A and B are shown apart, each in its own frame.
Chain A
Amino acid sequence: MISNTETAVLSPTLLSLEDRLTDLFDTHHQRLYRLARRMSGNAEEAYDLVQECFLRAARHAHRLPASASGAEAWLVRTLVNLCRDGFRRAEVRKRAGDAETQEMIQQTLHDASSTSGSDVETRRVHRQAVRSALSTLDPRRRAIVILRELEDRPMREVARMLSITPVTARWHLAKARRQLAQLLQDPISEHPP
């Protein structure tokens, strides 16, 4: 944190930049954290993603769009790109385990439906299955699914945030839905007794 004495000698340009960054942070950090939490596997990773996102904003403050919605879109894109970097690194490791991932999701859902556990337990298991299924998606598709299906954002806004056309966003959403539907198919309805 910059002390008062330090602030006093900073140039007006830097002061306004700091004000802007602070405003940006105060406005978007919780919303960005929620997105990161849904995009990533755990809270620590989400925290790291949000921090890196705002560090990049500080490093490239001159690239931040002037409008509030533009700045929010910039942050979302940065977050998705950070996820993509991590996804690419992990892809090689995961590729061999794709079949196992699908099997694990199916088994998790099957266990949840066949056992008469508590609601909390069922919800936890279901959450685990959804998280695993989402993690198999490319981060951009994952972001589209989260923004559209879980945050109820209009497709036009989703496309604008990710800097793609609405047609492309819809195409990715359709692909992601099919992939998720295959992973999350209900074992009871798919395999009736």
Chain B
Amino acid sequence: MTRPDSKPETPLVRTDQELPARLREQLRAGDPLHPDDALSPLQATRIRNAMLAEANRHRPQYGWRLAAVAAALSAAIGGSYLLRLTESTTTTPADVLAASGAAGARIARTVDPEEPDRQIQFTTPGGTRVIWLLKPKATLEP
């Protein structure tokens, strides 16, 4: 026997703990997905074909990229060659040292037509004398 003012078995206001379980039960009971819902083999084949055709249409174009890379490389090599030519005719190490304002620095450049080796000598402000011998025919040995 229940009193008239007793609470109903299903509470009117559900707590947060009860809500998920009850809601999950409701959602599963009314799951919009039928058990036999699936893409048919024909539908799957159609989508796969459309996807592969789309991939073919959007495949990366490597031709113009290769041409662009080749052009950039050519420009870089040509530019560096021209720069080297210009520097060898207009700039000497003495100019560089003078521009850098190294006090007390002195440079002597000897170029012998018979001997293509080059020598750079300079003295540091502390008095240390440095001689660089540049041999074009020198080879790096391991």
**Are both chains from one complex?**
yes
Cβ of A126 under 8 Å from chain B:
yes
Partner of B37, one of A34, A130, A134: A34
Chain A residues within 8 Å of B19, by CB: 177-178, 181
CA of A14 to CA of B44, assembled, Å: 21
Chain B residues within 8 Å of A177, by CB: 19-20, 23
On chain A, the number of residues with a Cβ less than 8 Å from chain B's Cβ atoms is 48
Cβ of B82 under 8 Å from chain A:
no
Nearest-CB distance from B60 to chain A (Å)? Answer: 7
Q: Are A33 and B59 in contact (CB under 8 A)?
A: no
Cβ of B1 under 8 Å from chain A:
no
Interface residues of B in 6-43 (CB under 8 A from A): 8, 10, 12, 14, 16, 19-20, 22-24, 26-33, 37-39, 43
Interface of A, secondary structure class, is helix
Partner of B30, one of A51, A59, A130, A189: A130
Cβ of B2 under 8 Å from chain A:
no
CA of A25 to CA of B51, assembled, Å: 9
User: Which of A16-24, A66-74, A80-88 binds B?
Assistant: A16-24
State whether A14 and B47 are in contact (beta carbons under 8 Å apart), knowing that A33-B39, A127-B32, A145-B27 are contacts in the complex.
no
Cβ of B56 under 8 Å from chain A:
yes
Q: Are B30 and A13 in contact (CB under 8 A)?
A: no
State whether A149 and B24 are in contact (beta carbons under 8 Å apart), knowing that A18-B52, A43-B37, A55-B50 are contacts in the complex.
yes
Cβ of B135 under 8 Å from chain A:
no
State whether A29 and B31 are in contact (beta carbons under 8 Å apart), knowing that A1-B49, A1-B52 are contacts in the complex.
no
Q: Are B43 and A130 in contact (CB under 8 A)?
A: no
Interface of B, secondary structure class, is helix
Partner of B33, one of A17, A18, A37, A178: A37
Partner of A189, one of B10, B27, B50: B10
Smallest CB gap from A14: residue in B: B59
Cβ of B87 under 8 Å from chain A:
no
State whether A189 and B8 are in contact (beta carbons under 8 Å apart), knowing that A14-B59, A29-B44, A38-B31 are contacts in the complex.
yes
B47-68 CB mask vs A (1 if < 8 Å, else 0) is 1111111111011101000000
Q: Are B54 and A55 in contact (CB under 8 A)?
A: yes
CA of A29 to CA of B46, assembled, Å: 12
Cβ of A150 under 8 Å from chain B:
yes
State whether A22 and B20 are in contact (beta carbons under 8 Å apart), knowing that A14-B56, A33-B38 are contacts in the complex.
no
Chain A residues within 8 Å of B31, by CB: 38, 127, 130, 150
Chain B residues within 8 Å of A37, by CB: 32-33, 37
B69-113 CB mask vs A (1 if < 8 Å, else 0) is 000000000000000000000000000000000000000000000
Chain B residues within 8 Å of A134, by CB: 32
CA of A134 to CA of B24, assembled, Å: 13
A157-186 CB mask vs B (1 if < 8 Å, else 0) is 000000000000000001001101100101
Chain B residues engaging chain A, CB cutoff 8 angstroms: 8, 10, 12, 14, 16, 19-20, 22-24, 26-33, 37-39, 43-44, 46-56, 58-60, 62
CB<8 Å pairs between A and B, sample of 7: A37-B37, A38-B33, A54-B51, A127-B32, A130-B27, A131-B30, A189-B8
